Structure formats: structure tokens, C-alpha cells
Structure 1
Amino acid sequence: MPKTTEIPGVKSSPDFERGQRGGATTVTMFVAESVSGFARSLTIGELVCTEVVEVIGPRRVAPGEVLVMASSASSGSGDEADWAAPAPSPSAKLRPGRVWYWVALLVFVAGLAWLLLGLVLLNNRIDSFERVAVPGQGEVSLDHSGSYVIYYEGPGAAAGNVPAFDLTVTPVSAPAEVQSLEPHSGSVTYSFGSREGRAVLTLEVTQPGKFLIKAPGAPAVAGGSWLAVGSSIAGGIVRVVVPSVVAMLAAVGGAIAVALVRHSRAKRARSPAP
């Protein structure tokens, strides 16, 4: 006669499937609960018994643990079935995935590339300005009406080392015409290699053409100094620096956020079941 086999630490439930094998009842699956009272869905290996009995033992059923039972249906197979070692549950894949580190890296590289490209283009733009050495005078050609900026270039100019001097701008020939010459408002500086400059004057031109710039009273400085005339670079600096800095900061912040979330979820996954 088949023996009644007790399952340590598991309370049986009436939800199970029965099959007949040689007069004995074969329990192939039932819903069990751990001693702590939390419901668990467990797959139990084939268990041959005459009835399902309630047994309370010290064994605790961990969440996701698969219990495997080895049993024999023959009458001379031994007293009780032996439990095999619990099969390890597959580790859940952490979210968000590591691919987001690569996304953050690509965003950072894109921001850095935008910054470097923008600085190269800005440097080329500054190189294209027309220049007059000071002290002295010289002609410049302005090809459109509107606003221009006159920059003082010399050692320490970006740091504010700009001497005081008088400057005049006069048309060389018609139809060139000057509307106004005013001190520049705000602080706009640049420094590329050995060249550094600061915006000092704003020139308004009503008609393009050739203009004579005179600065006879400007002091001579070691290394030389110049007056560069061109468009304002303030907008160009903003368009280059702001998007690149935002992109790089977002990339670093995103990578840190992904790391923190992954660490938190991995820690919870390693925590023992209650």
C-alpha cells in the first residue's frame, strides 16, 4: 500500500490534480503556502500518496523557489520520498539596461563635438575681422549697413586690460556713411591662442563702403595691439556653449540616475524573502 508522504513546511490546498496509478493517488501540482502565510504558486514534482495531509514543519518556502520531489510508486521503494535540492530561480534582468550608459556616452560626445566645432567656427569668424594696428590708422571695408562691433586686441584684453584712447571713424568715399559710434554695452571677450580681445565700441553704419579708422593717441604695448571690426560674437558664443553644456550635463546626470536605479533594484533583488 502506498505510503503517505509529508511535505515539510508546506500546507496543502484543495486545488490539485489527481490521477490514478496502481490504486494510488498521484498529486502532480497543488497550490501551497509558506509557513509565514504568504501565498506562493509552486510546481511540485510527482508525489505518490494516498491522501494529502496538512503538515507544519520548519521549512520556509522562498518566493520563486521551485521544489522538486523524487518519489517511487512501487511498494518497496522506501519509507519516504526525498527532496532534491531547490532549483535556483533565474536572476531577473535589471532595468534600466546597460545600454543607457551608451546612450549617455553618445549624448556627452555629441555635446563635446558641438562645443569643439562651434569654437573652431567662432575662431574662424574672428580671424575674418578687418584690423587696424594701433597706435595709427587704417581703412576697413564694411559690406552691409547696420551694426558692427569694434574690439580691442592686445595682451590682457580679455581680462580687461584696455587702455583709454580716442578713436574716430569717417567714410572714405560715398556712399559710405556713419550713423553713430557708442561705447559697447555689456562684456564680450574672446581668447584663442595668443589672440585675445574685448568689445569696446558699437558702430552703426547707414551705408556700406570704405571707412577710415584713426586711433593716434592709443599707447603702444609690448606684443602689439589692434582694433578689429566685425559682427557681434555674443550670439555665437551662446549658441555654441549653452547646447553643448546642457547636453553634457544631461548625459552625466542620466548616467548617474541609471546607476542609482540599477544599484537600488539589485540590492532589493539580493534581499532575503520575508
Structure 2
Amino acid sequence: MSRWLNSPVAVGVGTREIVVGAGLPLLLRLRKPVPAAEPASVAIDDEQCCTEPGLLDALRTALAATPASDAALAEKVKAPQRSASVVLDDFWGNHAILRGDFRTLRARELEEIVLAHFTDTYGIDGESLLVRFCVQRGGRALFASAMSRALHDGIREVSASAHVGISRLRLGLPEMLNRAGPVADDGGEALLIFVAHELLQAVMIKQDRWVAYDAQRLFPGDADDASRLAELTEQLFERSATSTNLRREECRICLAGIETDLAPFEARFAAAIRLAQPAMDRSPAHRLMEYAQ
């Protein structure tokens, strides 16, 4: 029987492509290496790229692109519904790092604070958002994410129609931060920079704790221009460093995402290093799929 029938599904959702792969349970991955089934890749139509309808149409096609014989066999053997882990490009949501004293607040109170922040910052109706948040150890900072409730529900509906249940649906930045590891645990600060085709994101870290978050929309050509990225990173630093006494010349830059020349960053900051990440010869959606695995 094909592993597509019983295996969990890993889905990477980019802005221009969706990649669906057949995952493996953790215990099986730890036991021995198993060749992965070839992922299914579907491009989002150019006229619909970066739109929710385009994403949902491509997801429907990608889930249907799993081997046709498996679908027939699933019906024949009454295979159980597969589960899916989905990781989306951060273009599809928003993030924030809020600072304050959250130690005594309940989950519902924290949710109200997060919703108020996204509503005030982006002018979005709170009822249309689905938020997730995590309070940092010590209770003085909170990392929050928000995405369209309509998009969230649409992804679940499209998946259900393909006999796939969503077990986890997250934006990419939390996954990347989890894999970044300690980068400033020596007491110093660092600026983590995540480069994608449409978005440049910055997370200020001090003593392995969140300090600030900021993002900058990228336009065609920006992601391929290291000097332009370094210039935008300097702007993000200036906005993120307002709560610290850190000077640009003392700040380390840790880069992830699209590979770029480090020299323009080294010219503006104390140092620039490249974080370990999935193979760069893969598309952004494929790398997101690997995070979902």
C-alpha cells in the first residue's frame, strides 16, 4: 500500500506555489531512513498569486495531485482520514512582539490584548482574525501571530474535501525561530533577518529573549539585491532598536531565507552570519513543506 494513504501530509504554502509531501511519523523517522515520496508541486496562477482564492485553488489541485491510484485504494480499503501539518509563508499573516507584564493574565485576556494590537496597528476587524500567541519565559514578552479567519477556514474546508484533516496550521516565522537556536546567549544582542520574495522580517534578540519584531514588504527585484536588502535591514534595525541602547556597529546580523551576499551586511553591521536552514536549492514553498514535516 502506498505511504500516501496512511501517512501524515506536510504542506508548504508559498505566495506562488504550494508543495504537498507525504510525511513520516516521528518514531519511524528516528528508527531508520525511509525514502520520501515525491512531493506534489502546484504553481499559483500568475493572475491569482498572493491572493486567498489563488491559494485555495492551488491547494485543491495540489491535494488532488497525490497519486490517483491511492484515492481509489483509500476508498476500497476504507483508509482513515490523513492528517496534515501546514506551514504558510508569512505573507499570509502578521506577527508582533509585545512587551509588558503578562505574568498574571489569563489566556482570554491575552487574546484580547493581541486582537486589540492587530486591530489598532492594521485597521483589521478583530472578528475576521484568528490569533495565536506564546508568552516568553519570565512573562515579560509575548510573541503573537494573526491570520485571516476566512483563509484559515478555507484551508480546512479544501483539505476536508480531499479527505485530509488539518492537525497543525502555522505561519512560517515561528517554525524558523524554533530552529534558529540560541544566537545571543552570551549576553549580547542580535538581529535575526528572514528574507523571502515578498517580505523581509526582523526579530531583535537579547540573551536569547525576544525584544522586538518588524517587517518590510519587498517589491520585485529587492530580494535579489543584497545592497538593497542591507539598506532595508538597517531601517528595520533603527526601528527595532528603539527599546535598547544597541548601536548598529555593535549588532550582529543572522540571516535566513533566500541566500544573499553577506558583504553589504558586514559593511553596515558588526558581523553577518548565515543561519542553518533547509537546502537552498529548493523553492520557498518546498522549504516550508520541510518545516511542516
Which of the five TM-score ranges fits, normalised by the shorter chain?
under 0.3
The structure number with the bigger radius of gyration is: 1
TM-score, normalised to structure 1, is: 0.21
